[in-house]
Chains A and B, each alone.
Chain A
Amino acid sequence: MSTQSDSREITLGQAINEALHEEMASDSAVIVMGEDVGRHGGVFRLTEGLYDEFGSARVLDCPICEAGIVGLGVGASMTDMRPIVEIMFGDFTALVMDQVVNQAAKVHYMSGGNMTAPIVIRTTMGAGRNIAAQHSQSLHAWFCHIPGLKVVLPATPYDAKGLLKTAIRDDSPVIFFEDKMMYTEKGMVPNEEYTIPFGVADVKRVGDDITVIATSSMVSVALKAAETLATEGISTEVIDPRTLSPLDEATLVDSAKKTSRCIVIDEGYSHFGATAELASLVSSKAFYYLDAPVERIGAMDVPVPFSPILEDQTIPNEETVVNAARRLVGS
């Protein structure tokens, strides 16, 4: 990581915006397309300034047709462009599944390697904004299920910027999930150019008694829980895989072997979710080292309700993690 002097504090939203600016400036094949991304600067302000700097040809305001836009992006990517498509809400990815799952993910394999689709789809995830079930889901597990796609879930401004730059330069299709509640979260980001390779987990906190594997919005939840657990004498290691596909299996398994206890936490639905795959991985590959079954914590299997008193119950929180950790260490 960088020292104070050569880095500065910015929000996760700014980090994404910087990555877009830098990659567009360095490669004229990089273009942004989507709904409200140009003149308006994006519904979440993530593409702000791009239109003024790069113009309407490179920051393409499209009619409202998610499937068509992604198809346009796939075709452009097959003909030497590097499109970044913004899908406003992750929930809307339901509209683009054919192009993503049956076209983009399969172009390289099915063409015998003679075509590629280097497209990035940026979209959002996460509940907590009181916007109900069609704008609050975390659907990244859908895409992790498909060979040929890479799936990225940044949890800090540093990771968001470095991973997005890697995504844009990658020759395979990448689905980039941004937690909409984290856009204003701040963190240190180097002034210097950098990228973060895919498939390399980041140990966010070192510990000895228990491993918490956390993704996206759940990383900060896990870190807060680790603080509380530390006051009880429980030393928690928090690991963020950062990319679920490809997955850094070794770092996750080695940590579980070291601590002998593991919690997996992710904001997707629990049933058949990312936590199931991660728990299965740790359970099978660290089996002889574990003192207890792996605990899975995901979002409740319920359409995310609007009323805050209902919605808040569906999202895992610090207390959920602390209670699970206490159970695992038998305290």
Chain B
Amino acid sequence: MKLTRAVDDRTEDLYKQGKIPGVIFSQRGHEAIAVGASYALEPEDVLAPMHRDLGAYLLRGMTPGTIFAQAMARIGGPSRGRDTNTHGLGDLSLGIIGYISHLPQSMPVTLGAAFSFKYRGEARVALTFTGDGASSEGAFSESLNLAAVLNLPAVFILENNRYAYSTPTHHQYATRNLVQRAEAFGMPGYTVDGNNVLDVWQVTAEAVDRARSGGGPSLIEAHTMRMRGHAIHDPANYVPKQLLEEWETLDPIKITTDTLRNQGVLDHTTEADIALKVKTEVDAGLKWADSSPLPNPDTLTAGIYA
């Protein structure tokens, strides 16, 4: 989570320095969901993160350097300058299907991976993240239904961060929550505190175990708050300040740190070691990314077809 925050902060610096074209998406508030859920997977599993799941990429083994190179439109990014920031940051050798823009279109695609695993008799699981806004789309419902009917080894993590761009949840759905949809489609549903990394991990691990043992899909609704605008250009003036202040006290890194300190697991030396390790990794990554060349303009049309 610390590494996620550090890469996120450095990305914002790079953007402000004009080193990243396009837009960037803040991870703030989503660190525990991405990290907790990804920890529950085995190396052979596959996940399809969304744009606020940087921690998932890092946990699957993608380096900060690769992530910076992608954002800086260099060939060191997996898309080789063809896709932006966390979009298309995929690498199947790490079990990552890069973020599929147009939420929730990663849901049926993830089911395709789950189908492949089941078809080949492999004990592997496919997990994807989606959001409260995506739940209103047809593909969300189609995917929950398909997953249940075909009994696929899939886990859906719904990150309810209270805002889909400017649309608050009470304009998004008329039910009390979104986990109710699980029962509607015939699968177990879980509600979890999305700012508590251990809770997210524990619940996801249960869903992953069920999927792996042939018990079918699950839907997990993880509650959090999007602490910044939709993207860097969005000041999010439509979000009440008080709401942000309340959630700031629940910052996932802060509460995890407090918990570990209270349990005596984390002391000053360990914290300092972690901070140094994170800084070293981020600095080295940025150095590598900065040395990665821009794409050769002559390769513009290469790869339209496989």
Contacts and interface: CB of A to CB of B under 8 A. Distances in A.
A24 B132 CA distance: 40
Contacts of B243: none
B115 interface: yes
Contact of A71 (B108, B119, B150): B108
A110 B119 contact: no
A99 B146 CA distance: 16
Interface stretch (B11-19, B88-96, B268-276): B88-96
A166 to B, nearest CB: 13
B145 A65 contact: yes
A116 interface: yes
B143 interface: yes
A75 B78 contact: no
B304 A72 contact: no
Contacts of B126: 75
Contacts of B105: 71, 98-99, 102-103
B304 A80 contact: no
Interface in B97-135: 97-98, 100-102, 105, 107-117, 119, 126
B107 A71 contact: yes
B10 interface: no
Nearest to A79: B116
Given A63-B149, A81-B119, A111-B79, A71 B102 contact: no
Given A76-B112, A81-B119, A112-B80, A102 B102 contact: yes
B112 A62 contact: no
Contacts of B83: 110-112
Contacts of A73: 112
Given A113-B303, A172-B305, A62 B146 contact: yes
B112 A108 contact: no
A111 B98 contact: yes
A65 B142 contact: yes
Contact of A110 (B82, B93, B111, B116): B82
A112 B111 CA distance: 23
Contacts of B297: none
A78 B102 contact: no
Contacts of B138: 67
A44 interface: no
B113 A79 contact: yes
B112 A98 contact: no
A230 B126 CA distance: 62
A111 B90 contact: yes
A80 B93 CA distance: 13
Given A67-B108, A75-B110, A75-B115, A111 B102 contact: no
B108 A68 contact: yes
A72 B111 contact: yes
B278 interface: no
A112 B97 contact: no
B265 interface: no
Interface in A52-86: 57-58, 60, 62-63, 65, 67-81, 83
Contacts of B146: 62-63, 65, 68-69, 72
Nearest to A62: B146
A331 interface: no
Contact of B115 (A76, A109, A111, A148): A76
Contacts of A62: 146, 149-150
A253 interface: no
A150 interface: yes
A147 interface: yes
B19 to A, nearest CB: 20
Contacts of B112: 71-79, 81, 83
Given A31-B119, A63-B145, A112-B79, A74 B303 contact: no
A78 B142 contact: no
B304 A115 contact: no
Nearest to A77: B112
30 contacts: A63-B149, A65-B146, A67-B138, A68-B108, A68-B139, A68-B146, A71-B111, A72-B111, A74-B112, A75-B110, A75-B114, A75-B116, A75-B126, A76-B112, A76-B115, A78-B97, A79-B112, A81-B115, A81-B119, A108-B304, A108-B306, A109-B303, A110-B79, A113-B80, A113-B306, A114-B92, A115-B97, A118-B306, A171-B306, A172-B305
Closest A-B pairs by Cβ, 5 of them: A75-B112, A71-B108, A68-B142, A112-B80, A171-B306
Given A63-B149, A69-B146, A75-B115, 19 more contacts: A62-B146, A65-B142, A71-B107, A71-B111, A71-B139, A71-B143, A75-B111, A75-B113, A75-B116, A76-B112, A76-B116, A79-B117, A99-B105, A103-B100, A108-B304, A109-B82, A111-B79, A112-B81, A172-B305
Interface of B: 46, 77-83, 87-88, 90-93, 97-98, 100-102, 105, 107-117, 119, 126, 138-139, 142-143, 145-146, 149-150, 302-306
